[in-house]
Structure 1
Amino acid sequence: MNGEFLMNAIEWPAQQLKFRRPAEFEPHAKTWMAWPHRQDLYGAGLSAMQRAYADVAQAIARFEPVSMVVHPGHSNDAHALLGKGIDVVEMPIDDCWIRDSGPTFLKLADGSLGGVSWRFNAWGRKHEPYDQDNALAERILAREDALALRSFLYCEGGSLTTDGEGTLIATETSLLHSNRNPGVSKAWVEKELIRMLGLEKVVWLPGDPLDLETDGHVDGMCCFVRPGVVMFEYNPDPADLHGRILADNLAALRSQTDARGRSFEVIPIPEAYDVEATSDVFARSYINFAIANGGIVMPTFGRPSGEEAMAAVARAFPDRRIVTVDVGAVVPAGGAIHCITQEQPL
């Protein structure tokens, strides 16, 4: 990392602004998505992936507006599948995982909109090019007339879950990975997260070293339901290696408290343990859902574990309507519904 850049970033006067990162369960103005268009990345599966993205967009649009970023030259194809009611926004993009490449939105004390533009290198240079995705956050913030705060951290939105009251949960395997922020200490990363998101405390989980795509994003294992309450994935098979990793992360969470000194109440939700993975980066996660105004849009795989997962989500969010979307064409690429959406707070 360039030392001069680091010092300039630290000296930037974020501490003189008053802002916070709203929780995902707070009201939204809209949800952002990004249209898949790369034949070289997704091959024969691209058409099915696009249909799944359209299904997710239409499901979320039952609850709140959706803006779909579409790479120039692909708007006609997007419109044909999206139908009416979805706002299509042409911007250059490399890929379609807007949770990670888009802005992390903030609300300023005066009620105006802001957002963090993290540095983005496609999960540690796993896919190229990524320069347009690295520029996407600031383009969206400019379009929304929102204040853009630039960070020196390589970070993705899937690495973060917040309670709206100053607590962040993050994983060490992603944010501290050498392919993101080599030479930057855990203390520096924590300080930057607090500075950029208006936080009081970072709760660190060990993460998932088996995740070959995101290096163990937190949105593949847990999310906030409300302050002090977290949904957490589990695997019922005691011999399952990923299940043991989830259990270790849950133990780490239970050993800590949030910014208000509360121990975490945990609502368990199964992962898709009875779904066969069809790739090395298959996202076997139900918790990778999108929270919308009055609704939850969650993955379905047509397996019995899905009924258990829906029951858990209904317990966690009794005032929201659950809509399921088949994401079988998306998850082999390493993510699910949360990964392909980014909420903009009201």
Structure 2
Amino acid sequence: MQPTPKQLGYYFPAEFAPHEAIWLSWPHKEASWPDKIQAIFPYYSQFVKYVAQSEKVRINVADEAMKAFASNHLQQAGVDMSQVEFFFHPTNDAWCRDHGPAFLLHKTEKKKAIVDWGYNAWGGKYPPYDLDDVIPTLIGKHYGYEVFHPGIVMEGGSVEFNGAGTILTSTACLLNENRNPHLSQAQIEQYLCDYYGQDQVLWVDEGIVGDDTDGHIDDTVRFVNADTVITVIEPNKQDENHDILQHNLRQLQQMRLLNGKQLNIIELPMPDAVIWEDQRLPASYANYLITNKYVIVPTFRSAKDDVAMQIIQQAHPEREVVGIDSTEIIWGLGSFHCLSQQEPLIM
């Protein structure tokens, strides 16, 4: 048996730890944004502009033509192109949080490794996904990093880390029959701890309405620091998210961390419902990305945008909160966190 990353001294850092880079896969799949993909590029490029102010941006593209197309959009948005690196790694889709590499750091040695989980496009919903599935290994080969292959399906948006040994996830996603039906909850916990180098897994049950990932945690609960979470709530009792999110809130209130502490819980309102062609979209302010300098928050032309940004700013006083309109991007059923994956900095 090959030793696990945890046995070898590797761990997955929290998102609020220092980054070397953010990885992206340039959007190109028309079916992900039907009749709308051209509308997303100005907002996507603005997102890249803010990321590039404090870390490298590493973008997977199919070929020189896509690189030129991407470069043109980024330059128009005023992106610092000296911070942008392109990699000829063809992808099926843009959701790098889920198909991208899970970067590990070593606890005592200055080195990185990568976990290449299996990827099946959220339970086989959107084939093909063969190109996306090999992205972590291609990146590992490029840098000469050791790559671990657990052999089970896992997505980056389904797990959240506190930087002190705890993972948060959801039963709606990880216990779904379309992921790893042969594994029990205890077996999945073991994989998570072994391959992410963690000691504890905490579970909420539900995801938000309209989330085609079956309930990714990055739309509902985020760690702010080792013992504090932001969780979304829906104050409107008539809204279909109200009961779901109250249930999650009660579960969070009952949790205990490894040190026995209760979680500090910050409540974040959901935006007004975003509907497109009679479809409720998974709009959530929790799908923000933490970078070295900014917290980049999706906004939705909602009266709640400013309040949500103020709450997130108070939770992250060491960074500047920036809102970028995600109304067009969310038509693809994800936002800035779903589109990106951080690469930690070796300290």
Same fold, judged at TM 0.5 (above): yes
Q: Which consecutive unaligned segments of at least 5 residues does structure 1 have?
A: 1-10
Counterpart residue number, 1:81:
73
* Percent of pairs with identical residues: 30
In the alignment, does 2:25 pair up with 1:34? yes
The 5 A counterparts of 1:110-129 are: 110-129=109-128
Distance 1:98 1:200 in 2: 25
1:199-238 matches, cutoff 5 A: 199-208=198-207, 210-238=209-237
Partner of 1:12: 2
Distance 1:281 1:88, change over 3 A: farther
Distance 1:210 1:327 in 2: 17
Instruction: Please state whether the residue corresponding to 1:119 is helix, strand or coil.
Output: coil
Q: What is the root-mean-square deviation in Å for CA atoms of aligned residues?
A: 1.5
Contact 1:20/1:164, CA 8 A, preserved across alignment: no
3-state SS in 2 of match to 1:288 = coil
Q: CA deviation at 1:150?
A: 1.0
Residues 121 and 129 in structure 2, CA contact (< 8 A), matched pair in contact too: yes
Query: In 2, are the aligned partners of 1:79 and 1:88 still within 8 Å (CA)?
Result: no
Looking at structure 1, the residues matched to 160 and 273 of structure 2 have their Cα atoms a distance apart, in angstroms, of: 26
Distance 1:97 1:78 in 2: 16
Q: Structure 2 length as normaliser, TM-score?
A: 0.93
SS state of the match for residue 261, structure 1?
coil
Deviates most, 149-158 or 201-210? 201-210
Partner SS for 2:36: helix
Residue matched to 1:53? 44
Contact 2:273 2:280 in 1 (8 A): no
Match of 2:101 among 100, 103, 109: 103
CA displacement 1:21-46 (0-9 Å, x = unmatched):
10000100011111111224434211
Written as runs of structure 1 = structure 2, the 5 A alignment for 1:237-276 is 237-272=236-271, 274-276=272-274
Shift of 1:275: 4.0
Residue 186 of structure 2: aligned partner: 187
Tell me the distance in 2 between the aligned counterparts of 1:212 and 1:324.
Answer: 21
Give the partner amino acid of 1:78.
A
Partner of residue 65 from structure 1, selected from 56, 64, 69: 56
Measure how far apart 1:211 and its partner are. 4.3
User: What is the CA distance between 1:212 and its match in structure 2?
Assistant: 4.6
Q: What residue number does 1:44 align with?
A: 35
1:173–1:207 Cα contact (<8 Å) kept: yes
The secondary structure found in structure 1 opposite 2:134 is helix
Shift of 1:144: 3.1
Please state whether the residue corresponding to 2:297 is helix, strand or coil. strand
Per-residue Cα deviation, 1:113-150 (whole angstroms, up to 9, x for no partner) = 11211100000111111000000111122223322111
Displacement after TM superposition at 1:209 (Å): 7.4
Q: TM-score, normalised by structure 1?
A: 0.93
How much has 1:230 moved relative to structure 2?
A: 0.5
Are the equivalent residues in 2 in contact too, given 1:35–1:53 (CA < 8 A)? no
